A = this chain, B = another copy of it.
Amino acid sequence: MNDATNNTTLTIGKVARRTGIGVETIRFYEREKLLPEPARDPSNGYRRYPESTVARLQFIARAKELGFTLRETRELLELRAGPATCGTVRAKAEEKLGDVRRKIEDLRRIERALRTLAEACPGEGALDDCPILGALEGGFGDGS
């Protein structure tokens, strides 16, 4: 992450506009260790972010939308930056894989229920005429 070969760095405001994440939130993420402290412009103390920060922040935003807490997101990001050995990375990656696969499976259930619902409601009609309106329930928790 050294931009010595590429001089393009961004101020915090530029990063914010690029990502739709507020400057205050970006500084918050730095405090929470989701972002590394960026280099500073020596002449004014302003943060200078590498271009890669944009992708990192977009990852963080998406992870939040997928139900990951900030701590979990940080752990995902640290997989490549933290542990000392490859074996540790592998073990942690596989643990996270289990979480991710479960989320996918659950979302698939919701998708199926919603699709069934949409296909069962082709047009006009009272709700009483849609016998599959209970499709959303029973799709969960009981191992179907």
Cβ–Cβ < 8 Å partners of A94 in chain B: 114, 118
A84 CA to B56 CA, complexed, in Å: 44
Copy number of this protein in the oligomer? 2
In contact, B107 and A77 (Cβ under 8 angstroms): no
Cβ–Cβ < 8 Å partners of A86 in chain B: 121-127, 129-130
Number of A interface residues, CB 8 Å?
60
Q: Encode A101-144 as 1/0 by CB contact (under 8 A) with B.
A: 10110111011001101100111111101100111111111100
Closest Cβ of chain B to A62, distance in Å, is 5
Cβ of A52 < 8 Å from any Cβ of B?
Answer: yes
The answer to whether A108 and B104 have CB atoms under 8 Å apart is yes
Of the listed stretches A5-13, A34-42, A64-72, name the one at the interface; the rest are far from the partner chain. A64-72
Q: Which of B56, B93, B125 contacts A121 (CB 8 A)?
A: B93
Question: Quick check: B121 and A89 within 8 Å, CB to CB?
Answer: yes
**Least distance between A76 CB and chain B CB atoms (Å):** 7
Q: Report which of B77, B87, B107, B137 forms a contact with A55, defined as CB distance below 8 A.
A: B137
